[in-house]
Amino acid sequence: MTERIAPPSKPRTMNPRSARPNQRHQVPYSARAVRPTPPIQREKTFLEQIEAFLKKENAAAHSDADRVYVYKRAFEFLSNEFTLCKPLINRIKQQYDEMSASLLEKHREMIVDSSSVTQNEDQFSELVNKMRRSKAKEFKKCHEESEKLLDEMTDLRLQRSELLKQLEEIETQKRELKSVAAAHAEQLQEKNDELQCITIDVKEIEIEKTELSGIIEGLEDKIDKIRCSEEELKEKDEFMKNELSKIKKIEDEKRDILDDKKSLLRKLDLQVQDMNKDVIGLQREKKIAEERLESNKQRKENNEARIREMLLKYDKRPDVPIVDIVKKMLG
């Protein structure tokens, strides 16, 4: 009797309005402005199918129970189509089924009284119409609530992304603060070490200060001992002046002697220069004499060689007198 409507090939898992925009930076955010346009043609086709199904099944229905069953099937198709609102539609359907069952039960009881059949049917139709109107209002309200929930979900997603960015920035700042704190701790440790070194130096300086104060006290005692009276200082001053005058006289005498020595030294320098000139002349004469002596030696050696040669010639003639040999040599 009833014809089943084939559900869509791929039921919607979520409302396309919940899709986030790809380019949020181009326009200011608006939950309704940035959502893509829903597939109106597909929803329109589904609505036409539902209306055709209701029209056909209601025309073939023989009783109110059949018509209630037709609307029950329509609710099932709606819940399968809108999966996101399926829990809400199921609750509405459950209340509708309970209400329709109670009304049908009342209707059956009212049929027993044949005198009020027409009146009861009118009341039942009116109740059914009221229930339909109330359910339509509830469905519209649920649809609006689902739209609001989708908008809130979109806002929450954007807020979540913003919060994640802020969390990353906070983590980065936290790491930077840790590095800065570590650097400050190192600097503080270095300053503490320097402070310890300074305290050690201060202690050493205080020790040296105490030693110097003791030395100063000793020097002050010595100064007190060394101090003498003004008369003694004057006597010493006079004595030093006399000694200084004597030293000046001696210095003048020595200066005169030094001048005499300098003049004598200049004369000696002149004499030395003259003697150097004489020495140079003597060296030249000596060189000439040495050259002459060398030439004489050479001549003597030559003469001796000639004499030896002549003697060698006359060694074989002993009968020749020596006088003749000498004359011949001299000749």
Residue 110 lies in a domain: yes
State yes or no: pLDDT of 40 exceeds 50.
no
Please report the pLDDT score of residue 63 as a whole number: 76
pLDDT band per the 50, 70, 90 thresholds, residue 144:
confident
DSSP string, 193-227: HHHHHHHHHHHHHHHHHHHHHHHHHHHHHHHHHH-
Q: State the Cα–Cα distance between residues 189 and 55, nearest whole angstrom.
A: 89
pLDDT band per the 50, 70, 90 thresholds, residue 325:
low
The CA-based diameter of the chain, rounded to the nearest angstrom, is 223
Average pLDDT over residues 66-78: 81
State yes or no: pLDDT of 323 exceeds 60.
no
Mean pLDDT taken over the chain: 75
Residue 86 lies in a domain: yes
Number of domains in the chain: 1
Here the tokens at position 149 are 């929930």
Closest Cα partner for 131 from 87, 75, 182? 75
Residues in contact with 5: Cβ distance below 8 Å, sequence separation at least 6, in sequence order: 49, 50, 53, 77
**Terminal-to-terminal C-alpha distance of the chain:** 191
Average pLDDT over residues 258-281: 86
Residue 121 lies in a domain: yes
Residue 143 lies in a domain: yes
| Residue 99: Cβ-neighbour burial (10 angstroms; 0-12, 13-18, 19+) | middle
Average pLDDT over residues 322-331: 59
Structural domain span for residue 140:
57-159
Residue 90 lies in a domain: yes
Q: At 113, which amino acid appears?
A: D
Count of positions (residues) in the chain: 331
> What is the tens place of the pLDDT at every residue in 101-138?
788 777 777 666 554 555 656 677 778 877 877 877 88
State yes or no: pLDDT of 33 exceeds 60.
no
pLDDT band per the 50, 70, 90 thresholds, residue 24:
very low
Beta-bridge partner residues of 82: 12
Closest Cα partner for 138 from 82, 95, 84, 80? 95
**Predicted TM-score of the model (pTM):** 0.25
pLDDT band per the 50, 70, 90 thresholds, residue 170:
very high
Residue 330 lies in a domain: no
Q: Which helix (H) or strand (E) holds 300?
A: helix 230-314
Residue 63 lies in a domain: yes
> What three-state secondary structure class fits 4?
coil
Residue 43 lies in a domain: no
Neighbours of 242 (CB within 10 A): 10
